[in-house]
């Protein structure tokens, strides 16, 4: 039975607290993780509990740390995640970027020494809700993607998010991996012992695969575009850009470095946060009106199938969130059993069955 948003969020908070995370940080992190599941981004919420637990028990994530800010200028700063989970560091970084953008028009804050931070879109939306343009990128821990024409994994899912305020409650909010799908979608298939659709994965020999465990057997995820003929070089190029912004700029370990994720006590993943005040260039209200009109015009495009109207980035997730607030957040039985087991071994109170 689906869990209510409140129960789902509280369960995550209880697990994070049991792992040693400070109460306010645990509450903020649980909010980010539940936001992902509420909006249908099921790859970045409660499904991350088992891998987070595995990494913390291996000494790769310190749940007790508090991120810090340094290297301040009027338009920039640098956040050090202290080897902790990425959500607190990323939230602090975007809050700092927003503060600077509100003061001087632009805020740029990269993050180093961090770990997985959940859904990029949450942080871009922080900027949007402050009336700003937001852009977010992050490097990845898993090296699962071969460059176009390559037969060796060099990159991760390396996502990008971009948000802009428009019609109230309906901002443009793009959140995408630079691979054909997010790694979590493959993980979710594996959790439920289901095959993946064709095009998500290839074997070590470059042949199509529908085995969700293909990467563990030497295969690869596909860059956005899927194949060279499908312009996979575009996804490859975007992934390289993400790593330059997230890791080269912050000083985090590059994904191509042999020590990536192998340093003692830290995953050392990098993130990048950018906030821009449109009021630097024109009346901010006029900017929002143009974005709103632009998005509405796109939505009004004649559809190929009347039953599948044209949408803009953010629309599907908002519809999912509205539905799940009413009906609850579904969690597959395989995943639920894994999370319950983690809670039990962590001595966290279990409330999801209530």
- Residue extents of the structural domains in the chain: 5-177+224-286+328-345, 188-223
Q: Please give the CATH architecture assigned to the domain spanning 188-223.
A: 2-Layer Sandwich (3.30)
Instruction: Evaluate if residue 4 carries a pLDDT over 60.
Output: yes
What's the whole-number average pLDDT of the chain? 95
Backbone angles phi, psi at 109, to 5 degrees: -140, 105
Residue position matching structure tokens 């594996």 = 190
Tell me the HSE value of 268 on the side-chain side, using a 13 A CA sphere. 19
Q: 245-294: per-residue pLDDT in tens?
A: 999 999 999 999 999 999 988 999 999 999 999 999 999 999 999 999 99
DSSP label at residue 212: T
**136 in Cβ contact with 161 (< 8 Å):** yes
Please state which architecture CATH assigns to domain 5-177+224-286+328-345: 2-Layer Sandwich (3.30)
pLDDT-based confidence at 216, cuts 50/70/90? confident
Is the CA virtual torsion 225, 229, 231, 236 positive or negative? positive
pLDDT > 70? residue 354: no
Q: What is the pTM of this model?
A: 0.93
Q: In this predicted model, which residue has the larger pLDDT, 222 or 117?
A: 117
| Mean pLDDT in residue range 150-166 | 94
Over residues 163-169, the mean pLDDT reads 96
pLDDT of residue 156: 94
């Amino acid at each position: 039975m689906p869990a209510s948003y409140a129960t789902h969020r509280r369960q995550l908070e209880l697990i994070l607290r049991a792992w040693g995370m400070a109460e306010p940080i645990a509450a903020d992190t649980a909010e980010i993780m539940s936001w992902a599941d509420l909006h249908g981004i099921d790859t970045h919420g409660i499904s991350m509990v088992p891998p987070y637990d595995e990494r913390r028990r291996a000494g790769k994530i310190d749940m007790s740390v508090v991120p810090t800010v340094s290297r301040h200028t009027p338009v920039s700063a640098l956040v050090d995640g202290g080897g902790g989970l990425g959500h607190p560091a990323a939230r602090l970084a975007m809050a700092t970027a927003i503060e600077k953008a509100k003061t001087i028009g632009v805020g740029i804050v990269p993050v180093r020494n961090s770990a997985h931070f959940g859904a990029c879109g949450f942080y871009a939306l922080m900027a949007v809700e402050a009336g700003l343009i937001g852009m977010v990128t992050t490097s990845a821990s898993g090296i699962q993607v071969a460059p176009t024409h390559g037969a060796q994994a060099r990159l991760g899912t390396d996502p990008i998010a971009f948000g802009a305020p428009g019609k109230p409650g309906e901002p443009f909010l793009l959140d995408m991996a630079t691979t054909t799908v997010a790694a979590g979608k493959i993980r979710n298939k594996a959790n439920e012992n289901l095959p993946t659709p064709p095009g998500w994965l290839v074997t070590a020999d470059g042949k199509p695969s529908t085995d969700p465990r293909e990467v563990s057997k030497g295969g690869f995820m596909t860059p956005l575009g899927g194949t060279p003929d499908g312009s996979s070089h575009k996804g490859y190029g975007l992934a390289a850009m993400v790593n330059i912004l997230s890791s080269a700029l912050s000083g985090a370990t590059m994904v191509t470095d042999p020590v990536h994720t192998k340093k003692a006590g830290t995953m050392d993943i990098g993130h990048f946060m950018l906030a821009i005040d449109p009021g630097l260039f024109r009346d901010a209200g006029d900017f929002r009106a143009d974005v709103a009109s632009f998005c509405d015009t796109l939505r009004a495009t004649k559809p190929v199938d009347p039953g599948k109207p044209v949408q803009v980035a953010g629309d599907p997730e908002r519809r999912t969130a509205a539905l799940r607030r009413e009906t609850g957040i579904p969690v597959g039985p395989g995943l639920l059993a894994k999370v319950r087991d983690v809670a039990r071994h962590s001595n966290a109170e279990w409330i999801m069955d209530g």
